[in-house]
Amino acid sequence: MHVETTRGARKEEFPDASMLLVLLPDGRWR
């Protein structure tokens, strides 16, 4: 799951982008 990697690595650098990436592709992963 890329969600964990995005929140762990991207959240600190890009908290806003992390939420967008999780929301947009979230439907595809689920």
pLDDT digits (tens, 9 = 90+) for 1-30: 455 555 555 555 555 665 666 666 565 654
Q: By residue range, what is the domain housing residue 26?
A: 1-30
Instruction: Give the total number of structural domains in the chain.
Output: 1
Model confidence, pTM: 0.18
Give pLDDT, residue 26.
61
Give pLDDT, residue 13.
59
Nearest residue to 19 via CA among 5, 29, 1, 6: 6
Give pLDDT, residue 24.
62
Nearest-angstrom CA–CA distance, 30 and 11: 20
Give pLDDT, residue 2.
55
Tokens found for residue 11 = 């959240």
Give pLDDT, residue 20.
62
Overall size of the chain counted in residues: 30
Q: How many CB atoms lie within 10 A of CB 29?
A: 9
